[in-house]
Amino acid sequence: MAEHWYKEAVLYSLEVQSFQDSDDDGVGDFRGLIRRLDYLARLGVTCLWLNPIHPSPGRDDGYDVTDYYGVHPELGSLGDFAELVHQAANRGIKIIIDLVVNHTSDQHPWFVSARSSPDSPHRDWYVWSETEPPDRHQGMVFPGEQYETWTYDRTAKAWYYHRFYDFEPDLNTANPAVWQEVKKIVGFWTQLGVAGFRMDAAPFIIEHTVPGQSAGEKDFEMLTDLRGHLSWRRGDAIILAEANVEPSMLVEYFGDSGGSANRLHMLFDFALNGRLMLALAREDAEPVGEALRDTPPLPEPAQWATFLRNHDENDLSRLTADQRADVLAEFGPEPKMQLYGRGVRRRMAPMLGNDRRRIELRRRLRLPAGERDGAAPRPWLAAGLVRADDPHPAGVPGGRHRRLHAARRDAAAARAGAPGRCDRRRDAVLAQPARRGRGGGHRQAARVGWRPGRGLRRPAVRPARRRPVRARPGRSRLPVDPAAQQRRPLRRWR
């Protein structure tokens, strides 16, 4: 598993600032995180994904970076980070960090230099226009919070491009000097021991922006180049990318047209996540089955990252208007619970009414890999935040988490068949036949329904294969109905 460890990894996303404080200053730090590594290891976590850790003004939760080669002073020092990597490795936990190179903060020294003069050596590190671009009000990522993608800078006397907020000018990655700097950043952190990167806004990084063109050409060879550079620096390092694009475009992010997996190692499966939320809202497993059947085949050894919730909103943009309305009605009925008109901003626990049984049921889900025989199971992205006063993520006991992760790893031997619903009586259950052999011939099942009358039910009588409970001193003998034993109840859901 050393080279392709990510295929069955359990990733845990956390924000260091709000995880564990070690010096009582009210801010989480690396030393506090080190103290909790044993706890995370007991949960079954095999990889930590750290949200941005670099120096930042903090206007966009750390995604407005001012120095790619440092860590935020509130978190500690580079030495503390190196110790974190070392201690995590001792427990079998790898660490990946956010790679936010689509844009910088407007306070980054590069942009300060770029806007100071047209002759600045960093002028071409950003995207400029001498005249007002006609597509100035198009392409906003955060509708309602941003109203343009080009902003006029009085100091530079020119318009600069920003796909996100106006204080986050986009880097001109088409400039060879900028791309070389990106690879330098990657090399720096791999040298410090990180096992990979979560690439933020991957489609925008490889897009060549031209004023007046709302959609620039994408250069996928940039991903090939970055993958090669990373592999030379550390053979088992990965790139897990965020690319919420059309399904027909997904495969290009993994590899070239020849079928080689020479680009990204992993992508978040946003399409499956949206259908999963629809299945949970309707308590019908069919949307998940459809998503799995529609998933394009991936080149070996590429992999999807599946998740219930991560640090962003639940993006429902790939659903139809009616489907999105069903999900919002169930999990975000109030306007304050929604975001950008396309997603739910709530965490999973309150979405489920903080009902521990419902939360445990959702955590039991182990999604099949797809319809290709011999495909490996998808890793489960156990994304979430564990605070110092919350010993169990989303209220799920650590022992149960460990058993779930162990079961998922053991189930890797049972390769997947085509997923589908069990039958009309159990339309809230997604089942998948396992390939006969080491994994046996059983069906793997995941229940998405919860309300009475949906999905698997507890049997009304004790199954006949169980021996009657013998009478013991001080205890009464349980009655056994011989006629009832002849009836075969539904399988007990555990």
The residues assigned a catalytic role are: 200, 242
One-letter amino acid of 305: A
* Distance in Å from the first CA to the final CA of the chain: 30
Which residues lie below 8 Å from residue 155, measured CB to CB, with a gap of 6+? Answer: 115, 116
Distance CA 144, CA 54 (A): 28
Distance CA 242, CA 221 (A): 17
Q: Which of 396, 392, 369 is nearest to 380 (CA)?
A: 369
Distance CA 214, CA 13 (A): 33
Say if strands 196-199 and 94-99 run parallel, antiparallel, or are unpaired. parallel
Distance CA 400, CA 173 (A): 45
Distance CA 483, CA 90 (A): 58
Distance CA 391, CA 467 (A): 38
Which residues lie below 8 Å from residue 413, measured CB to CB, with a gap of 6+? Answer: 437, 438, 439
Burial 119-141 (b: 16+ CB within 10 A, else e): ebebbebbbbbeeebebbeebbe
Say if strands 150-153 and 158-161 run parallel, antiparallel, or are unpaired. antiparallel
The DSSP call for residue 317 is T
